[in-house]
Structures are given as C-alpha cells and as structure tokens.
Chains A and B, each alone.
Chain A
Amino acid sequence: MGKIWRVSGPLVIADEMKGSQVYEVVEIGKEGLVGEITGLDGDKAIIQAHEETLGLRVGDEVKGTGKILSVELGPGIVGSIYDGLQKSLLTLVEESGPFIKRGVKALALDRNKKWHFTPTVRDGDILGPGSIIGTVTETNIIEHKIMVPPGLKGTIRKIKGGDYTVDEPVASLEHESGVFEIKLKQEWPVRKPRPYRQRLAPAGLLTTGMRVMDYMFPLALGGKAAIPGGFGTGKTVALQQLAKWAQTHLNIYVGCGERGNEMSDVLYSFRQLKDPKTGELLQDKEIFIANTSNMPVVAREASIFVGITVAEYFRDMGYDVLLIADSTSRWAEAMREMGGRLEEMPGEEGFPAYLGSHLSSFYERSGMVECLGRPERNGSVTVIGSVSPPGADFSEPVTQNTLRIVDALYSLDVSLANKRHFPTINWLTSYSLYIDVVRNWWNDVYPEWADTRSAALKILQQEAELEEIVRLVGPEALPEGDKLLLLIARMLREDFLQQSAYHEIDAYCTPLKAGLMITAIMKFYDLAQEMLNSGMRVEEIRSSPMVYRITRMKDIPNELFEQKAKELWQEMEQELVADKGGTL
C-alpha cells in the first residue's frame, strides 16, 4: 500500500509502491477511485486515474489490487449500457441519481439474476479451451454460449442444466493439476487479445443497408474501416445506421468522448426499433459503452478496449460482431493529454510517438477467425472507427495514422454536408480493399453488381472532370452527350447515393434493391442515348416521365421493389421501341 505523492488532473503519483506492476489496477483515496499504473520509478508509481481526481489529498492511500484492468464476461451483457470501466450506467442511475458521483461502484453483471443454463456436453467429455459446454438464452436474439475459458482443458464433471447466477459453478473441469469450476461468468484483461485457433481472411459482405457502402465501398465481415470527417458531416449518424441495420449477430457501440444526448438517443430508440432480420427489438443485439466527452478523459482508452474485448468474447462463440467506435480521435486526444502531463517527448501536433502503435493495437483485433475448441466454428469482429480531424483536415496525425491501418475508408465531405447530400461519403476519395472479398457474395445476390458498380463510378469520375469545364464555360456550352452524362451522374448521386437516415422506407435498402435501382438508372442511360441519337435534346429527356419515376424509387418498399423495377424496365423498353419506331 502506498500514498499519494502528487496529483495533477488525471495523473497521480504515489510513493511507497514497491512491488507494484505496470498496468496493475489500484484504488486511490478513501473513495477507492480506479486507477492504472502506467509506469514505475523507484518506489514511485505513475498512475492514470480513470475517475475524477478533484478532492484527492497528498498522503491519501493508494492500494494495489494485484489485478490488471479486466472485463466481466457472461450473460447480462447484451442490452446493457456501461461506462468506460464497464460499470453499469443504469445501476449508477439507481444508486446515485442522474449525475455520476465519484467512486460509486456498479458491477457489470447482476449477481442475483438467475439464468437458465442448458448443457450441450456430458460428464466425461474431454474438452479444450474455448469449447462450448452449454448455452443460456440471453435475449430474444442472442444465445450466450458458455465456453471453457482460454488456457484450460480437461474432463467435464458435474455438468447440470438449471438456473444459475453468474457466480455459481455450472460444471467443473478436471485436469492434471486440479479442478476448475466453470461459471457463467469469466474475466479477461482488456489489453490482451483473446486467443483463437487460426486467423482467416475477411469474407462476405457486412450488409449495412446503406447503398454507398454495400454497393460502392463494401465492408467485409472481419474487416476494419475508418470514417473520418469534420463536424456535422454525418459520422455519428452513419455509425448509428450501422448499429441499427448491419446484418451481424451483435453490435457494440462505443461512444468515446462524444455527446451524452447521442448515447441516450441510441439507447432509447433501440428499445423500440426492430432488427430487420429477426424482427426482434434492436436492444437484444446491442451493447453500449459510453464514456461521454464530460466523463473522465483517461477512461476513454478503457472504453475502447473494453469494447473490443467484449467483441472478441462474442466472436469466440462463433458470432459476427460489429464494433463501432465514435470517436477514436477523442481517445487519441486523451493519450496526448496524459503524455503531456507525463512530460513525454511529443510527436506531431503534440500526440505521443506511440499514437500509431496504440491505434493499431485496437484495429488489429478485428478479423475473421476460426475459434478455439469444439464445435468448430468461425467468428468475426468487424471494426469501424470514426475520426474527427481538426478543421476537417485529413493530413492531421490521427487520420494519417489510421489510414495506414484500415482497409476501407469512408471519407466524409464537408461540402457535401453543406449541400445536405447524405451520407457524405465522397465517391472519389473513399475506397474499399474488400472488392474481391465480397465478389462471390454479390454474385449470389446480384450478379450485375461488379459491372454496374464500375460503370457508375466511371460516370461519376467523368462528371467530376466535366464539372471543371462547366465552371469555365457553363453547362449550356457542353455537347449534348456530355450534358446527358451530367444528367445521369446527377441521377446516380441524388437517386442512388443519397440516402436519408430518416426516410421511413429508404433508411434501410436491401442489397438487391440497391442493385435494381442502379440498373434502372443505367438502363435509362441506354434509353436516353437512343433518344439523343434520334434527335431529342437533353432538356427534353430531362422531363421524361421515366426520370420522375426514377426519382421516386426510394419510396418503394424493399419487398415490392423487384416487381416495380421490372415494370419500370418494361416501360423503358417500350418507350425505346416507340422511340425507334418514330425515327424509322
């Protein structure tokens, strides 16, 4: 046990701390604030406090716990909202009211609640680490698989179905050196990746219901992506859309150093919204971690690592998990603040030199894996983090370091936001390295994907070039063929890429509908070219009823769309025939 020697903001230095370890969790002062040792210097320990330090005194006790920062894993996690230290925020409301008081404890998992455990193995079975021994129906969506904790193997004994609290043993595991009791709850240190048998390449599309992502810049299950953008460009709305509609088994939403109202918004809307796949309430497949901008700065880092560790745990059950972090820049700023207080050598813009390696220690925990143990299964963690570059300037260190790590970039554009073109994902500067990974997936769903996608991107590219000319000579001076291209590009932007998160029907678009929509525009392009050849002017083509029909495609529900699209195509063909007839 040591004593406080100095306090400066979230930095606490304690002396008489011989025998402590780096990363050991300590309890500070009479309130037992949670801190973490980040360095040792003689008998002094340098501690970052995860809770507000106002009111600490020199000489107050600092107690080592012998533990490193860990999470509790077990039934009861899904649907919860935690702070960065995995304290249940709902419990905190009950214990201390609407404002967060220092030092109040709230366990992550309810100790009294009984869960019904159904074994899937028998006494005498010999199992290795990660093997599933039974299940608990945690929510209407999530079957919580109870696994042999990593590092253990042996013979199953005394396994029995029934109702258990998270602390009661449901089976024991007999091994050479003794007996280990398996409970519904396990613990895992947050900074240590959970083990798996084998890492696999990301595979398959992570369907988001957002056309510009699914169709243009697809994200693969097990992938890693970043979404940088200035304030107001739509980072949070895009991430909330993912949390709502991504076709994964489970989503984890980490609000890191951002607004409180945004957390309460997701929290409460997810109690009413339904998952399009299962028809169950979204909160049944969601875990929230909230360390808002006014909560202790140091716990921002913890919130990110708590999130990724929980994600890995559900991955190990064989699930596809999406981890959303909004915003990684706030975590980076917390690193900068602590680095500054420790008087470390600053790197670019004052960020510590280890910024890049810390960021990658987070993103690199994404991936598709073959899980440990039996039965054989794969699981994935897909990670997407927002970045908040100062002045929307992407050359700043956090954006640049993140770009070196991720394989998909959704670059949000202030000028699109000003025009209210949402999502503001810029089609010229965004990219995905998962095109080949999702090719097979798309071949099954909509084989025309690859061709229509590249054709559309080409038109948008040409538009950008023509825009330059328009700025000099005006739109009327262009040849008709170019005018038509501009019209089609505009349709692609407005009638395909634009997608309001608040549109009753359009908020979620199935991949099939996306394909049919873009094909409708491309078919219209063919038709329009014929019209042009037959002497019509673009001015006239623009007022074709087909154009109007295309602008209204978003209003057609997903399930009716295939039928409607076919009707539309037929009409276009008829018009084409009629048109040709006219010129003959």
Chain B
Amino acid sequence: MSLSSLYIKEGRAINKAKGSLLVAESIPGIELSEIIDVQLGNGEVKRGQAIDIGKEAIIIQVFGGVSEVDLIDCKIRCKGETLKLPVSIDMMGRFFNGMGESIDGGPPIIPYDYLEINGEPMNPAARQPPSEFIETGISAIDGLNALVRGQKLPIFSGAGLPHNKIAAQIIRQATVKGEEERFALVFAAVGISYDEASFFMKDLENTGALERTVAFINTASDPVIERISTPRLALTAADYLAWEQGMDVLVILTDMTNYCEALRELSSMREEIPSRRGYPGYMYTDLATIYERAGRIMGKEGSITILPILTMPNDDITHPIPDLTGYITEGQIVLSRNLERKGIYLPIDVFLSLSRMMKEGIGPGKTREDHNNVFMQSYAAYSEGCNLREISTIIGAESLGERDKVYLSFADEFEKRFVSQGEFEKRRVEETLDIAWDLFSMLPEKELRLISEKFIDKYLPRGKSSSS
C-alpha cells in the first residue's frame, strides 16, 4: 500500500489500547478509514486505520502484529489517505504480503495507479450476466456443476481433504473454448501453512503459470489482522487486471475460514454484539463485499472469476462460515469425507454441490445440446441409487427388487466411473457426457424420464442396453 504522501496531521495523547485497537484523542479533519501511522515507544512505525471517528476520540485499528504494550506511549500521525494498492501490469509473476508490500526481493513495482482496496460496488445494471463455459476437465464439475467466467464458486472442504490438489488441478486444466491467453491468476494465501502456500507456488511454477500470477501471501505465522486485507488486495489487483487490462482473471482465495476467524477476533476486540457462534452480525455483508467483486461488465473486456476455498469446521455445512458463504456465492463444490474414505478422487459430494450459473454456460453452441438433460437425469438416478443404498444397509441388498438393484449398481458405477478421475486426467466435456450416457444404458430406457426422446435416440448406446 502506498506510503508516498506527506504527513499532514499529528496527534498524541493515547487514552487506551486493547488488542490491536487504539483509542486516541481526535485529530481535527480526520476521515473515516484514513490511514494512520502509529509510532511505537521504541520508534518503530506501524500502519493503522481510523475505524471510528468522533469529535472527542477516534478508534484506530493497528496492523502488523502489535501488542497493547507496544501501543503505550505511541504517537499517531494521519496522512489524509485511505488504504490503496499500487497496481501495475508488472505485478504479474510477483509475490506480496498482506500489506501489499513486495516480499520476493524483486525490483520495486512502478505503480500505474493507486486503487482503493475496498473497491466500489458494481452497479447491477452494468453487469453482464456470465455465460462462458469454463472447461475444467473434471467430470463432476463440468458435467454437473459447470463453472462460468465471472462466477464465484467456492470449494467447501474439510480438514485433510484434497482441496488444494483439486484447486491446483482446476488451475492447470481450466480453459475456455476458442480463446487463448488473456488469462491471469491472482492467488491469495490467507492464514494457511507455509507448506500449503509453497505447494501452490511449486505447482504454478511447474506448469509455467507463475509468470501470469500475482500472489499475496499471508501465512499462519503472519499477522492475523492482515488476513482482513489480503483478499481485498488480491481483488484490487484482479480489478486492475480485469477492468483496466481486459484480462480474464481467476482469483483463488485460500483459506477463507481463516479470514472469518480473523474477522471474529477483530469483532470481539471491538466488543461488538456477536451473532451466531461469536461471528459478527455483519459477516454476510463483509464477505459479500469481497465475493461480489466477481463478475463481468457490459461492453468491457475481462472478467473476474473467484474460487475461494474454505474448510468447514467439523465438516458442518450449517456452520456460519460455509452457510453465509453459500448464501453469497453462486453455488459451492462440496467435498465429502465419505467418498474420500472410499478412495475416490475427486471426492465431490454431487448432491450438496451446486453451480447456480450452470444453465447459462451449457447447451448447444456452448457444451452440447443434451447437457442439461444428462445433468438432470444423472442427479435423479444417482440420488435414487444412493437412497436405496441407505435402505439396503439395513435390510440387505438381496431383499431389494430387480429394478432397485439396477439403481443400486448405477450409483456405485457412477461414483467409480464418473465422479472418480485421475489427478492429471483431463476430460473434454463431450467425454464427460458420454460417460454419463454409458451409465444410463444400465437403466431401463423408459425410466430416462428427464431426457427428451430425441436425445435418447441420438446418444443412448443401445447395443449394451437391452440386457439390463
């Protein structure tokens, strides 16, 4: 963030410190959310922000890991500026910390512009409804939860589940038909371990994507408070690349659970009335101001697609973090510990997963004419099979009727052949759909009630079907 301007106002007389919050005597003319320099007793200068301003006192949020002790005896100066990120196309291939400062020892970035890190709300009337199919090469995503450019689609994972592998596979494989390379990746590590962060960086390096990547790294050992700014910095960089440079930007934010924990910590420090499980009541709005920065704009090149990753505490999808996220994002890819235990990669829980933008991205001219029908029929048949599987665990599979047994084995095959896929296996969407048709041929033809008859005639591999 920029440090360039002159110090214009100064104040002292600190009244009170609490965690990283500082209450100070008011400075005339101070703006809400203005940047403050806090000079600690030992001479060190920390950055802060005015989060509450009044005639008598102001409250400053101090960044960069301070303790109350540090804040005793400090001086404050305000600079008449709000948090801004210097941006430039040269950020590509570079690494920054949660304050937006370069951490890779490379040459200084010569800024083209300074952008407010909170961004401005996109006018809904200026939005272009997203509709370009992104082929990830993953059947459970492309076939059943298709992603489109400008969408925000999180991965809901659990501790120890392979969300990083999946994200890396998506980054490696994602393509948009008939288009090349106006592509950029913005990667934000939010409170993850150093190892996890370097897993991504290695993978990006191996595939040569690193030079098209801007990375903001806040690892578990970095200041908690900077987890609040890290995703915003990432999206500010994305804003610049998408709307100024016309690039199609994919933003990976991981792990947003750490972001939410930081938000909770901050809120309790401010002594706010908590909502569910101690998280602040405004967490929905706060997350929305991050995720709603995804999108496309009428008459403008470029797009921002956001793929956040979060771990569900206790694998509980009703926990406020996944719950509020699901209310904001345009669907979710949910990972299942059950499938993982069965040894299925990618362990995607098809029932809990959803892509709300799918219908805009699929169909004739985009994927294939039968896509929507295949999608609906797959759900119906797989869901019937899973339901019978549950019943059969109690009564035994042998006591099921003939028809029911067919559905039971459909569900098994569906998991083995459709959901399951190699980490380096990339399937074209047509291949994905054909696998589904192959599986449909296990079922009585008359029960393909969600598929229009003309597609049955065209795509159902009849040779094998008659016997079952």
Contact = CB atoms under 8 A, between A and B. Distances in A.
Given A257-B285, A475-B391, A295 B121 contact: yes
B383 A419 contact: yes
Interface in A48-107: 53-59, 81, 89-90, 92-93, 97-101
A525 to B, nearest CB: 18
B42 interface: no
A100 B126 CA distance: 10
Contacts of A260: 121-122, 124, 127, 292, 295
Interface string B41-57: 00000000001111100
B30 A98 contact: no
Contact of B29 (A58, A472, A500): A58
A98 B284 contact: no
Given A54-B32, A388-B327, A539-B403, A93 B383 contact: no
Interface string A1-30: 000011110000101000000000000000
A293 B285 contact: yes
B53 A57 contact: yes
A475 B401 CA distance: 8
Contacts of B359: 502
Nearest to B58: A58
A391 interface: yes
A548 B243 CA distance: 52
B124 A89 contact: yes
A391 B318 contact: yes
Interface stretch (B174-182, B336-344, B349-357): B349-357
B129 A261 contact: yes
B399 interface: yes
B274 A268 contact: no
A481 to B, nearest CB: 16
Nearest to B318: A391
A92 B123 contact: yes
Contacts of A268: 129
A577 interface: no
A502 B361 CA distance: 13
B275 interface: yes
Nearest to B270: A8
B376 interface: yes
A177 interface: no
A264 B274 CA distance: 33
A255 B125 CA distance: 12
Given A340-B272, A543-B446, A264 B391 contact: no
A265 B403 CA distance: 41
Interface stretch (A133-141, A329-337, A445-453): A329-337
Interface in B352-378: 352, 354, 356-357, 359-360, 372, 376
B347 interface: no
Given A419-B379, A420-B376, A470-B391, A98 B297 contact: yes
A380 to B, nearest CB: 28
Interface in B370-410: 372, 376, 379-380, 383, 390-392, 394-396, 399-404
Given A294-B289, A418-B351, A475-B400, A101 B281 contact: no
Contact of B125 (A56, A264, A474, A543): A264
A6 B292 contact: no
Contact of B33 (A13, A55, A99, A388): A55
B141 to A, nearest CB: 16
Contacts of A471: 390-391, 394
A6 B391 contact: no
B300 interface: yes
Interface residues of B, number: 84
A435 B460 CA distance: 45
B111 interface: no
Given A58-B53, A336-B281, A539-B401, A265 B123 contact: no
Interface string B284-327: 11001100110101101000000000000000001110011011
B330 A259 contact: yes
A56 B292 CA distance: 24
Contacts of B379: 419-420
A542 interface: yes
Contact of B446 (A99, A295, A476, A548): A548
A276 interface: no
A494 interface: yes
Contact of B281 (A267, A340, A542): A340
Chain B's interface: helix, strand, loop or mixed, by majority?
mixed
B438 interface: no
B242 to A, nearest CB: 11
B295 A390 contact: no
B125 A89 contact: yes
Given A5-B55, A6-B53, A267-B124, A56 B32 contact: yes
A294 B327 contact: no
A66 B25 CA distance: 34
A87 to B, nearest CB: 10
Nearest to A265: B129
A350 interface: yes
B289 A349 contact: no
A292 B452 CA distance: 37
A293 B122 contact: no
Contact of A330 (B275, B284, B399): B284
A200 interface: no
Contacts of B29: 57-59
B331 interface: yes
Nearest to A89: B125
A475 B26 contact: no
Identify the interface centre among A261, A390, A470, A494: most chain B CB within 10 Å of its CB: A261
B258 interface: no
A232 B150 CA distance: 19
B281 A350 contact: yes
A101 B124 contact: no
B276 interface: yes
B120 interface: yes
Nearest to A470: B391
Contacts of B130: 261
A299 to B, nearest CB: 11
Contacts of A290: 124-125
Given A231-B327, A349-B275, A292 B292 contact: yes
Nearest to B243: A98
B52 A6 contact: yes
Interface string A283-307: 0000000101111010000000000
27 contacts: A7-B52, A7-B54, A54-B31, A55-B31, A57-B30, A97-B126, A98-B122, A98-B300, A99-B126, A232-B331, A260-B121, A260-B124, A261-B130, A263-B127, A265-B360, A294-B289, A336-B275, A340-B273, A393-B318, A419-B351, A420-B380, A474-B391, A474-B392, A475-B404, A476-B399, A502-B372, A539-B403
Given A58-B54, A292-B292, A477-B395, 9 more contacts: A59-B28, A81-B124, A93-B123, A230-B323, A261-B150, A293-B328, A337-B281, A417-B354, A471-B391
Interface of B: 26, 28-33, 51-55, 82, 118-130, 150, 243, 272-276, 281-282, 284-285, 288-289, 292-293, 295, 297-298, 300, 318-320, 323-324, 326-328, 330-332, 351-352, 354, 356-357, 359-360, 372, 376, 379-380, 383, 390-392, 394-396, 399-404, 444, 446, 449, 452
The 10 tightest CB contacts between A and B, nearest first, are: A293-B288, A391-B318, A6-B54, A98-B126, A474-B395, A264-B127, A294-B292, A263-B124, A231-B326, A89-B125
